[in-house]
Structure 1
Amino acid sequence: MAEHGNGDSTAVVKAGEGASNGYAIDNPGLPPHRPRLADVDEKAAKRSERQVAALFIVSIIGTLMFFVGYFAIARMDQFDDYFEGMSALRVQNTLIGVGTALAMLGIGLGIVHWAKTLMPDHEVTEARKPLRTEADRAEAEKIVTDVVEETQIKRRPLLRNTMIAAALLAPLPAVVVFRDLDRTADFGVERMRHSLWDEGVRLVRDPTGTPIRAADLTIGSAMHVIPENLREVSGHGDRLAEKAKAVVLIMRLNPDDLHEPTPGRENWSHEGIIACSKVCTHVGCPVALYERHTHHLLCPCHQSTFDASEEFKVTFGPAGRALPQLPITVDDEGFLIARSDFTEPVGPTYWERGHTDPEGDFPA
């Protein structure tokens, strides 16, 4: 490497040497702007406008789907003629889920497509300027005006109107859902104190409604059952609400494996057949996993474990109390029936459980 006598390298170009702008490398500037098809062809611009409007309309349709699923399916009894049991619930969930997705996706894609095809895409550079209060105000006003002009919202009323309609409708599903969380609505603790179970009500298979004989259950078997009078409840939504409180799991153990019952519960089982609420006392998930050798019931949501041989007490997990046990016996024909309703509220543990039962049927 050749060097000058003062030790400076001739291979190094220093800032300010050989460059007219004072930098070692000339500023290459912005690349040339490449116009899009919509910039030079009004037909293409109109086509993009219609595409954006169509996406906003998709958002509107999605919002309407949500309302149909949320209100119509749940509250119109004539849907029972077309859907049986949980099929109606699946249709409702599908409409709510797909509707919400389309509402959000349509408006989001519409705005993105609008920005990519119709709004100006020129790149600009600006030198930083000293702050001047009045000048800044005027410049800010000009920026806002330029942004409005660049969106072409004045020139294209179709875009403006469909976007406003979609934006106004899209938040409504969330408003409706949050409204239903209102604690003053008709879904308080009193509704959880009693279910459809009562003295003499038969235990039947779900969803067939077939009564169950005690002789049909072998040791180690378990079965999901509902009250026979559930079919008498009119209205799809009311029937689902009552079913959610009344779902029961029955199983048959060797009578020798059942521990000594709490006083007052001596006749709650029949020849080793016991029944309990399926609703976990933690957050209300369905308890449906039964291990016959350990007699354990497992909630799949948070792994709360209950011992069926010891009146369904909690042996592991976050649940705070045992699963409510349903007193059962058999009728004259050998079919399993309930002796009474649950003697405590079903469902998760909540602070209102400390309140007294106004009817005096059982302690809270």
Structure 2
Amino acid sequence: MTDENPNLPAVSGHEGHDEVVAEPIPDPGIEPHELRITDIDPQAADRVERQVATMFALAGLLALGSCVAYFAIPRDSVLEFGPLTGNANNLVIGLCLGLGLFLIGAGAIQWAKKLMVDTEIAEDRHDAFSSPAQKADIIEGFQQGVAESGFTRRKLIRRSLIGAMGLLGLPAIVLLRDLGPLPGRSLYNTIWAKGIRVVNDVTLRPIKPSDLVVGQLVNAAPANLAPMQEESAVEYQNAKAKASVIVVRIAPDKIQAPAGRENWGIDGILCYSKICTHVGCPISLYEQQTHHVLCPCHQSTFDLADGAKVVFGPAARPLPQLPLAVDAEGYLVAQSGFTEPVGPSFWERG
């Protein structure tokens, strides 16, 4: 029979016997810190500082080069590398920006490995909640880290880094030009006009009031849209993006027509632009009981029974309404075009 210390945990052995752990594994601690050549040789540290600053300066020059390439290289120029071809403008801009970002990253790594303090420290775990004293320690530690990084002391690195990061913002501003022209008055006019029939956007069949029942919503378009598809695909898509509408039939006693729009509907049939007034997403998610239509992008919600006013979401204005009438053959037609710009709100709208 052997004596066992009852305070030590027992571990099951391979043969069914209990083995006693004599003591926990000791903490190995942190290995002794080894000085780098930049820690003991000021000239080596200065040399690394110049290397890092050079990388940052080159990154700034490459950022400027991307801006120059954007304007200097023709948009239709092509570079050929054997069987590979590519747009020269895009290629040079991409290479300049890619190399610039690489040099900033490489310079930051070199700075951290060779110049920043690399002494390892150990910190005991603590509760997630920080006491005022711990918060003060964190702030003090942050300030100490800034001092040890040499950011405030090594002016060459600091200035070159700030310059490179500032210059990298220029290509982003220049490339905004590729977003296309400003809306101008392009959203003020659509192909809707007086007498244009309302047709189903799938079957292209003209719509009669009798085709719609209360609670029904139909995606529609102007009858003069279809012929444009044969002439120009681009013009067709541009026109469709602005002229698409939704037609809904609501019980007349549920409609609260805005002032001046009392005669814009036909027996409870109303027509609104399909384009959300937030950022221009197409909408048609309709809830019959509330007469609300929802934009799937950002959940802007419009009350079609009350002039399509906004009842929820980020949209800033109601959906534009298209005034309706009935022609001699009994089909729905527009009384006129839209009386306000369609699509998302924009600063030139006023």
**TM-score, length-scaled by structure 2:** 0.52
Structure 2 partner of 1:189: 184
Rounded Cα–Cα distance in structure 1 between residues aligned with 2:221 and 2:341: 17
SS at match of 1:190: coil
CA distance in 2, matches of 1:340, 1:232: 20
Name the CA shift for 1:137/1:177 in 2 (closer, same or farther; >3 Å). Answer: closer
Q: Which residue of 1 aligns with 2:233?
A: 236
Residues 165-314 of structure 1 correspond to what in structure 2 (within 5 A)? 168=92, 170=94, 178-181=176-179, 185=181, 187-233=182-228, 234-259=231-256, 261-314=257-310
SS for the counterpart of 1:276 is strand
Q: 1:302 to 1:140 in 2, by over 3 A?
A: closer
- Paired with 2:248 and 2:206, the residues of 1 have a C-alpha distance of 15
Cα contact 2:252–2:268 (8 A) shared by 1: yes
Q: Which deviates more from structure 2 when the two are superposed, residues 318-327 or residues 127-136? A: 127-136
Letter in 1 for 2:191: L
**What whole-Å deviation, never above 9, does each CA across 1:245-301 have from its counterpart, x for those lacking one?**
111000111112112x33432221001110100111112121211111111111122
Structure 1 residues 171 and 206, CA gap change in structure 2 (3 angstroms): farther
Alpha-carbon distance between aligned partners in 2 of 1:180 and 1:295, rounded to the nearest angstrom: 40
Quick one: which amino acid aligns to residue 282 of structure 2?
A: P
Which amino acid in the other structure matches residue 181 of structure 1?
L
- Structure 1 residue 167, shift from structure 2 partner: 5.4
- Give the aligned residue type for 2:225: L
Q: Give the CA deviation at 1:128.
A: 5.1
- Aligned CA distance change for structure 1 residues 191 and 171 (closer, same or farther; 3 Å): farther
Query: CA separation of 1:178/1:258 partners in 2, compared to 1, >3 Å: closer, same or farther?
Result: same
Q: Secondary structure at the match of 1:315?
A: strand
Structure 2 match to 1:130: 40
> What does 1:68-147 correspond to in 2, within 5 Å?
130-133=40-43, 137=47
Q: Distance in 1 between matches of 2:178 and 2:48?
A: 47
2:334 maps to 1:338: yes
Structure 2 residue matching 1:245: 3-state secondary structure: helix
SS in 2 for 1:340: coil
Instruction: Please give the alpha-carbon distance, in whole angstroms, between the structure 2 residues aligned to 1:138 and 1:211.
Output: 76
- The one-letter amino acid paired with 1:219 is V
Unaligned runs of 5+ in 2: 1-30, 55-80, 97-170
CA distance in 2, matches of 1:242, 1:177: 27
- Describe the SS at the equivalent of 2:185: helix
How far has the Cα of 1:337 moved from its partner? 1.0
State the distance in 2 between where 1:135 and 1:341 align: 72
AA matched with 1:276 = Y
What is the alpha-carbon distance in structure 1 between the residues aligned to residue 48 and residue 331 of structure 2?
Answer: 86
Q: Is the 8 A contact 2:37 2:44 kept in 1?
A: no
Preserved CA contact (<8 Å) 2:38 2:45: no
Structure 1: gaps spanning 5 or more residues: 1-25, 28-124, 145-157, 355-364
Equivalent residue, structure 2, for 1:75:
none
Return the letter of the residue paired with 1:295.
Answer: H
1-side partners of 2:209 and 2:189: how far apart? 25
Confirm or deny: 8 A CA contact 2:321 2:338 kept in the other structure. Answer: yes
**SS of residue matched to 1:231:** coil
Distance in 2, matches of 1:271 and 1:235, equals 37
Gap change, CA 1:171 and 1:325, over 3 Å in 2: farther
Partners of 1:138 and 1:307 in 2: CA distance: 66
Structure 1 outlier segments of 4+, above 6 Å: 138-141, 174-177
Equivalent residue for 2:74?
none
Q: One-letter code of the match for 1:168?
A: V
For residues 2-81 of structure 1, what are the structure 2 equivalents within 5 Å?
none
**2:157 — aligned with what?**
none
Residue identity opposite 2:243 in structure 1: A
CA distance in structure 2 between the aligned counterparts of 1:291 and 1:138, rounded to whole angstroms: 67
How many Å apart are 1:351 and its aligned residue? Answer: 2.3
Aligned-partner residue type, residue 309 of structure 1: A
Counting only pairs closer than 5 Å after superposition, residues 313-328 of structure 1 correspond to structure 2 as 313-328=309-324
For residue 332 of structure 1, what is the amino acid of its counterpart?
A
Q: Does the CA contact (< 8 Å) of 2:264 and 2:323 recur in 1?
A: yes
**Aligned partner of residue 229 in structure 1, secondary structure:** coil
Change (3 A) 1:284 1:132: same
Cα deviation, residue 138, structure 1: 10
